[in-house]
Amino acid sequence: MTLNAGKEGGHIGPGLSVADIVATLFFGVMRIDPQNPDWPDRDRLILSKGHAVLGYYPALAQAGYFPEQMLETFEKKGSPLAGHPCTIGTPGVDFSSGSMGHGLSVGLGMALAAKLDARDYSVYVVLGDGEQNEGAVWEAAMAAAQYHVDNLIAVIDRNGLQHDSSCAEVMDTEPLADKWRSFGWETREVDGHDIGQLLEAFQPEYRPKGKPYVIIAHTTKGKGVSFMENGVSWHHAVLTQKQAELALAEISQDKTGGE
């Protein structure tokens, strides 16, 4: 998709970082009906780090929200598949995003609405670790604890990088788990590329009662492509044909090698 987007490029590092988390949610955790994307009882997913669409649109297509051919229109003139997801025009996108730090508040709103309507859906919000810089994240964190919501689950894609540099250098949010705990959240840390660990973390028995839950998923930005891994310059990049072939070869090898 990045290659296809030509000189428009794509947020490829962030996409590869979050892909396993999103795939686990869609194919192993969430109660959804892609034929019925507005089903009121569906679980909701908000990609609060909205720039990571490359790890999101393919999952939506694979789940059946729209035909896979539509992926070819990514960032093309007239396409709804923009560099950030938009609810209007893209089936399966529960909420538009792109500006960092909005998603958790919106997720909390959805979680509270579920309680009002006595519905039992869950709301999953995927955040970036750089995104933790935004004050609004912590406003939502505080409010979620205040309202004891246990149908709101935040997942932090903890890849240690943000746009300009490493999180430690830009704005250090460590100790991150302690911060969330002190805000009244149940926390759990997992390897965000280990599907088994991710699946386990979402199991009902690990989900706290009467308080919100955050999973800190340790990930690698640019995961699966050696020359992209942990590279700041791959946050958003244009791909050459050669790079695309190398990357695809590495990723498919990874698959057959079996994790």
Q: Which residues bind ligand TPP (CB under 6 A)?
A: 14, 17, 49, 51, 98-101, 128-131, 157, 159, 161-163, 221, 235
Q: Report if residue 70 touches another protein, rule: CB under 8 A.
A: no
- Sole binder of another protein in the list 79, 166, 230, 243 (CB under 8 A): 79
SS in 3 state form for 223-242? CCCCCCCCCHHHCCECCCHH
What residue 165 binds from another protein, ligand TPP, none (CB within 5 to 8 A, per partner kind)?
another protein
Minimum CB distance to ligand TPP smaller for 44 or for 102: 102
Minimum CB distance to ligand TPP smaller for 98 or for 184: 98
Minimum CB distance to another protein smaller for 36 or for 165: 165
Tokens found for residue 183:
């805000």
Report helix, strand or coil for 209: coil
What residue 17 binds from ligand TPP, another protein, none (CB within 5 to 8 A, per partner kind)?
ligand TPP
Question: What are the distances in angstroms from CA 249 to CA 62, 179, 226, 243, 245?
Answer: 21, 40, 11, 10, 6
Closest residue by Cα to residue 124 from 103, 141, 139: 103
Kindly state the smallest distance separating residue 161's Cβ from ligand TPP, in Å.
5
Which one of the spans 83-91, 103-111, 186-194, 207-215 is the region binding another protein (CB under 8 A)? 83-91
Kindly state the smallest distance separating residue 75's Cβ from ligand TPP, in Å.
16
Cα(79)–Cα(90) distance, integer angstroms: 10
Q: State the number of binding residues for another protein (CB under 8 A).
A: 36
Cα(132)–Cα(144) distance, integer angstroms: 16
Beta bridge partners of 187: 214
Minimum CB distance to another protein smaller for 173 or for 219: 173
What residue 232 binds from ligand TPP, another protein, none (CB within 5 to 8 A, per partner kind)?
another protein
Minimum CB distance to another protein smaller for 84 or for 207: 84
- Residue entry with tokens 């505080």: 142
Cα(259)–Cα(254) distance, integer angstroms: 7
Q: Report if residue 99 touches another protein, rule: CB under 8 A.
A: yes
Closest residue by Cα to residue 162 from 173, 154, 170: 170
Let me know: does 253 contact 225? Beta carbons within 8 Å: no
Residue 72 neighbours by CB distance under 10 Å: 12
Q: Report if residue 55 touches another protein, rule: CB under 8 A.
A: no
Minimum CB distance to ligand TPP smaller for 85 or for 101: 101
Let me know: does 152 contact 43? Beta carbons within 8 Å: no
Closest residue by Cα to residue 212 from 153, 155, 139: 153
Residue window 138-157: x/- pattern of binding to another protein, with contact defined by CB under 8 A:
--------------------
In the complex, which residues of this chain contact another protein (CB under 8 A)? Answer: 5, 8, 50-51, 75-84, 86, 88-89, 96-101, 130-131, 133-135, 162-165, 169-171, 232
